[in-house]
Structure 1
Amino acid sequence: MELRQLLYFVTVVDAGSFSRGAVALNLAQPSLSRQIALLEADLGQRLLVRTGRGVTTTDAGAALLVHARAMLDISRRARDELQELDESPGGRIVVGMPPRVALGLSTPLIQQFRERFPRAVITILEGLSVSLRESLIAGRLDLALLFDPAASPQLSFQPLMREKLLLVAPPKSKLPARVGLAALANYPMVLPSAPNAIRHLLDSVLGPRRIELQVLAEVGAVHTVLALVATGVGCTILPESALGAPGGEALPRAPIGPPSIWNALVLATPTARPATRLVRGTAEVLQELDFRRRETDPGDIYRLSK
């Protein structure tokens, strides 16, 4: 069984027929058929069945297809890695970020990426942490910055920044120096709608304490939350970095606790896929960016652990 034969087999399956597969491979159809026949003889299994519309896989063919794709992918990655040893890597990398993180980090990330990898292309995709996590596991992203992701054996996390959540109120509101967790139930709230990392974090902290918030409205974007708070609809709970968005700078805010509630921004990477030089280098660039690191207060008893 040769990698070349596996490539021919996968191409025929993807094309749906020997004739279209031969065109895709720039190979004569009799030669392609002979190679598939040799592969079937080597394995002692019928892999493809010709039909009036092309070909379909047998049960053995369907089983081999999964392994063939994996072996071809590993072969390609190994070849790329070896080619990258003596030259600046090319190719494309896709990085996922929440919108408010992308707003502040896209420019320095792209500038430093271009300096380090002039032959490569970087794509930044924005989305909620929940959807970015799913895309990373599915292989649609190479790296992602996520807020408080759920643990997964398919991902590893590198902490980048931690922030306390704050109670944010409409203009001219009078807030105490600190707001205890139980007192949060006294404030009408406008919150991000689930699924959302902040909502999940609040539920995980307040739920076990039987603290129920007065949720007046739920919206998807942070800037919409801030706009509603600015018009007096209600209060909200956000990390300090979110208040840099338009409309959030002048809003009254107060720290929560004790205990404080911390959210964490992490760099997430897949554990199953081998990291190329480009992926490793981009991860290093992300870790070198100017994230504001915050230390815990001695009196805090609630901690995030990843």
Structure 2
Amino acid sequence: MKLDPRHLEILAAIVDGGGLTEGAQAIGRAQPSVSRTIAMLEARIGAPLFEKNKRPLVPTELCLGLAGEGRRILAAGNTASAIVATFRTGHRGIVRIGGTPVFMDGVISTLIAEFQQNHPQVRIEQSYGYVPELTDQLVAGTLDVAICPINPTAVPEGFHFVPVLPGRNVIACGSDHPLLRKGSLRLTDIANYPWIAPPASSPLYQDMRHILRDIGVNDIRISFSGGTLASMTAILANSDALTILPYSVVFMARKQRTMAALSIRLNHPERMLGILTRDAEASSPTARRFRRFIDTEFRNLSRFIQQHEQNTVWRD
């Protein structure tokens, strides 16, 4: 025999409330309607659910057993409602985020950890890629958000781009590098040290070539190339090598004291780090909440960097 789960919910409300009127009020129904439901349920079962002619109502053993199941149904319904509510407000769900490796590992990963501290029911699925791959994934619907550096005037048609951080590159080195201790730093000093080259497919690789050409360093020795940010950082911390990195990445690593930026003013690429989406309004509530968080955190980071630069001497 299959019973209507709603009837069991009503039965639980009556038992827990202590009467028909109280049970009806608890579930927002009229008392006559509840009485008819109990009569139908007794007829279907073929046994009374309450002791006859007793006031207040006294549930039978059968009634108590069915009411217990009704409580479970009510609890499951309340849990399901809470799940839907947290999803609608962006506190539950999945966000598929992709971005360029250096920014993802050097900056975004820290922000993801902060986001999940306050949103433990959100799962982040992260992937790596550069702009061509990221735009393809956004079009295919396999990515919700891309965080990458783009020239704002060259955003592909059909995409929405929100700039969050100006493009800014620096010459990075280990925190104990000899050049950091020099009172007067000359460009010729830089040429004497080996260089770490970013992956050839990275925009940073071309940036490095342009920067070195602009500052008059034409003959460099590449000691390491193509590694991840973690490997580049480890080599910087344990050698005298130099490399080109976004200033935001070096700034975020300052607490670990593994690398620093040489105070040499460079020409910067016409790119901005930003949030790239295909259709911002059609995304899930969780993805929209994550985008707002990233936007806010990057604007705060931008202010911190500006304040830090006011106390830094940059040599031309």
- Per the normalisation by structure 1, the TM-score is 0.52
Higher strand share: 1
**Residues 160, 265 of structure 1: 8 Å contact kept:** yes
Q: Which protein shows a greater Rg?
A: 2
Report Cα offsets for 1:119-141 as digits up to 9, x if no partner.
xx432304244444543344221
Tell me if 1:173 matches 2:178.
yes
**Residues 160, 280 of structure 2: 8 Å contact kept:** no
Query: What is the match of residue 166 of structure 2?
Result: 162
Distance in 2 separating the partners of 1:179 and 1:273: 50
Whichever residue aligns with residue 283 of structure 1, its letter is: R
Query: What is the match of residue 226 of structure 2?
Result: 219
Distance in 2 separating the partners of 1:190 and 1:136: 32
Give matches, 1:1-306, under 5 Å: 88=89, 92-97=94-99, 98-113=104-119, 121-130=122-131, 131-148=133-150, 151-162=155-166, 164-170=168-174, 171-175=176-180, 187-203=193-209, 212=218, 214=220, 215-232=222-239, 234-243=241-250, 244-245=252-253, 249-251=257-259, 253-259=261-267, 264-271=272-279, 274-289=282-297, 291-293=300-302, 294-295=305-306
Q: Which runs of 5+ in 1 are unaligned?
A: 1-82, 301-306
CA separation of 1:288 and 1:251: change in aligned 2, threshold 3 A = closer
Report Cα offsets for 1:148-198 as digits up to 9, x if no partner.
477422432212223632223353412567878897655431122121232
Report Cα offsets for 1:258-301 as digits up to 9, x if no partner.
54568642111115984454443332222222541145989x9x
Distance in 1 separating the partners of 2:136 and 2:269: 25
Whichever residue aligns with residue 163 of structure 2, its letter is: P
**Aligned-partner SS, 1:292:** helix
**Aligned-partner SS, 1:201:** helix
- Per the normalisation by structure 2, the TM-score is 0.51
**Residues 254, 260 of structure 2: 8 Å contact kept:** no
Whichever residue aligns with residue 192 of structure 1, its letter is: P
**Residues 229, 235 of structure 1: 8 Å contact kept:** yes
Whichever residue aligns with residue 278 of structure 2, its letter is: P
**Residues 156, 270 of structure 1: 8 Å contact kept:** yes
Distance in 2 separating the partners of 1:139 and 1:112: 26
Report Cα offsets for 1:51-80 as digits up to 9, x if no partner.
xxxxxxxxxxxxxxxxxxxxxxxxxxxxxx
CA separation of 1:271 and 1:197: change in aligned 2, threshold 3 A = farther
Query: What is the match of residue 64 of structure 1?
Result: none
Kindly, what percent of the aligned residue pairs are identical? 19
Query: What is the match of residue 37 of structure 1?
Result: none
The RMSD of aligned alpha carbons is 4.3
**Residues 242, 248 of structure 1: 8 Å contact kept:** no
**Aligned-partner SS, 2:223:** strand
Distance in 2 separating the partners of 1:213 and 1:109: 44
